[in-house]
A and B are shown apart, each in its own frame.
Chain A
Amino acid sequence: MDSKVEPGVRYSKTHEWVRVEGAEAVVGISDYAQHKLSDIVFVDLPAAGRELKAGTACMVIESVKAAEEVFAPVSGTVSARNEALVKNPEIVNTDPFGKGWLVRVKLASPVEVDALMDAAAYTSYLATLGE
């Protein structure tokens, strides 16, 4: 499988990505993750205002073959959620790094982002998974 790795964002080992924009971060799942899930049918977005803790499950994505947790890659408060996914969850499949973003988070601890992989490291990481 040839997964796209977007430059300029940070990745977690559980295949979430983070794009820092000022005091906030946009969170999504990687192209690899959406491929693995296959056709996504439902995204159970967390409510705005909810506190997320890095490394803990913050929502569920359901596809035709699985229901998987999404782990918060960073800690913070949900400031916005991608409402377009309520009606059209398949956007996560078609544009995982763009229109398929999941939530915006007001960062509680911006240094957490530094601990995540950059695009090069994530590419090597995917290689170790045999993909």
Chain B
Amino acid sequence: MARAALQHEGIPVSFIPNTDADRAEMLAAIGAQSVADLFHDVPAEHRFPRLDLPAAASELEVLRELDALSRQNADCGAAPCFLGAGSYRHFIPSVVDYVISRSEFATAYTPYQPEISQGTLQAIFEYQSMIARLTGMEVSNASHYDGATATAEAVIMALNVAQGSRRRVVLSAGVHPHYREVVRTYTQGMRLEILGDDEDKRPAELARLCDATTGCVVVQNPDFFGRVVAPADLAALAKSVHACGALLVVAVNPVSLGLLTPPGEAGADIAVGEGQSLGNTMSFGGPYLGFFAFRREHVRKSSGRIAGQTVDGTGRRGFVFTLSTREQHIRREKATSNICTNQSLNALAAAAYLAALGPRGLARVAELCWHKAHYAASRVGAVPGFRVDGAEFFHEFAVSCPLAPAEINRRLFETHGIIGGYELGGDYPAAGFPARKDQMLFCCTEMNTRDEIDLLARALEEVTHA
């Protein structure tokens, strides 16, 4: 069929590189008369439905329209922001963007012919080494999609360690609600018994749910409410979990590890978490970075790709993807995980961020977060009607409010341009969590100035006592 005829039928031709002669030859080979014949199974009235679209716009017009739309967004770079709940605003040194923008690295994907990409493999290896050191674990994989998928993979790994003989998974309500949801989505159809998150349970209570059928116990530290589990409590939990023959999975905020005891030291078997706060922007919720680290004895049951260091035939240092026999391109349906990729560019950003800050820099960021959040808690707690949750916390804290949290947030934003806290009632049903309905979760990082925090306290007083 000629180009003109294609156009006549409404088939776009501008980006079709083959010639009329090519097309005629291909049609003849398959015994079709025209391109339209190929669509003959689609009822005629559904082939080219009329789309109610505006006329085509020029590039300049499109840019102007999108720019106008984007101005309606509240920009965390400009508005004072006290929202955290799993996605955190941190300062990102310029060197991070410089490194990840280099064309050698600017691909979001893990290579499929990896060994010719030595630089990529070395970058992943460096990332893994940093994550292992940060979490106090022996091995890290090359990363997962985000904190939620890393947590779900940890649960599956724990079940694999038990060779499928254990079906109970104990989840703490302090684990991010989205992570718990993804754990349930990933494992549906595996006939598991997932329990423990119907109400707020302390580590000792979670330990009591752990029995001979339990594959793992999953906790988060600091938990979703910002609370820090004391190292002794975590170590005691690890001991009881191990006594049942189960594994302890700890989801951690990596920035908090500049200050807090690494999960590996507290006895965790698998440490996972959201790596976004390490050099990655909030960017509307993704792409993010799931880190995943564990004890060496379980390496064969681990998920994801692992870059390893080796030597070539002449003794020179080189890098490879190792232990691939766990992965689905080799083991098919018996693979330990159905993820054979990683978040290379995000992991690289995390590695560049950690390298730029160094251990002392990260400790300083963690201290700033802690101090600013505690200053904010003292100011917010002093506003009449507000009560701060008394527990030990890192950089987030739950506050009981005198008005509906959603209403407070609306007023904060409309009258003061402040992005307020996270409304906890949506994720925590009143049945098991009666106090959460009226609570808001505030977050402070090194990005929140003292002026912003003072402004928040004054604004809260104004919007609730007007």
Contacts and interface: CB of A to CB of B under 8 A. Distances in A.
Are the chains A and B members of one assembly? yes
Nearest to B325: A67
Given A44-B300, A67-B325, A60 B334 contact: yes
Contacts, number: 16
Contacts of B330: 67
Task: Count chain A CB atoms within 10 A of each CB in B163, B165, B334 and give the residue with the most.
Answer: B163
Q: When A and B form their complex, which 6 residue pairs have the shortest distance between CB atoms, in order from nearest?
A: A67-B325, A62-B325, A47-B163, A67-B331, A42-B300, A67-B330
A69 B335 CA distance: 12
Interface string A45-74: 011001000000000101000110100000
B359 to A, nearest CB: 34
Nearest to B326: A67
A46 B300 CA distance: 14
B107 to A, nearest CB: 28
Contacts of B331: 67
Q: Taking chain B's interface residues, is the majority helix, strand, or loop, or is none over half, making it mixed?
A: helix
11 contacts: A42-B325, A44-B300, A46-B163, A47-B163, A50-B163, A50-B165, A60-B334, A67-B325, A67-B330, A67-B331, A69-B334
User: Which bucket holds chain A's interface residue count?
Assistant: 10 to 19
Chain B contact patch, size range: under 10
Contacts of B165: 47, 50
Contacts of A46: 163
Interface in B324-359: 325, 330-331, 334
Contacts of A50: 163, 165
Interface of A: 42, 44, 46-47, 50, 60, 62, 66-67, 69
Given A44-B300, A60-B334, 5 more contacts: A46-B163, A50-B165, A62-B325, A66-B325, A67-B331
Interface string B257-301: 000000000000000000000000000000000000000000010
B378 to A, nearest CB: 53
B306 to A, nearest CB: 14
Contacts of B300: 42, 44, 62
Contacts of B334: 60, 69
Interface in B149-174: 163, 165
A91 B325 CA distance: 20
Contacts of B163: 46-47, 50
Nearest to A64: B325
Contacts of A66: 325
A50 B163 CA distance: 10
A42 B323 CA distance: 11
Contacts of B325: 42, 62, 66-67
Nearest to A67: B325
Nearest to B330: A67
A66 B325 CA distance: 7
Contacts of A42: 300, 325
B161 to A, nearest CB: 10
Contacts of A60: 334
Nearest to B327: A67
A46 B165 CA distance: 10
A60 B325 CA distance: 10
Contacts of A47: 163, 165
B258 to A, nearest CB: 36
Contacts of A62: 300, 325
A46 B163 CA distance: 7
Nearest to B331: A67
Nearest to B299: A42
A60 to B, nearest CB: 7
B158 to A, nearest CB: 15
A66 B331 CA distance: 9
A36 to B, nearest CB: 16
A86 B213 CA distance: 24
Nearest to A58: B163
A56 to B, nearest CB: 13
A7 B149 CA distance: 51
A62 B163 CA distance: 16
A97 to B, nearest CB: 25
Nearest to B324: A67
A66 B334 CA distance: 13
Interface in B128-184: 163, 165
B246 to A, nearest CB: 14
A69 B334 CA distance: 10
Nearest to A65: B325
B327 to A, nearest CB: 10
A59 to B, nearest CB: 9
Interface string B79-122: 00000000000000000000000000000000000000000000
Nearest to A86: B297
A69 B333 CA distance: 12
A42 B165 CA distance: 21
Contacts of A44: 300
Contacts of A69: 334
A44 B330 CA distance: 16
A68 B283 CA distance: 43
B256 to A, nearest CB: 35
A52 B454 CA distance: 67
A33 to B, nearest CB: 17
B380 to A, nearest CB: 52
A43 to B, nearest CB: 10
The residue among A44, A50, A62, A67 with the most chain B CB atoms within 10 A of its own CB is: A67
A46 B162 CA distance: 10
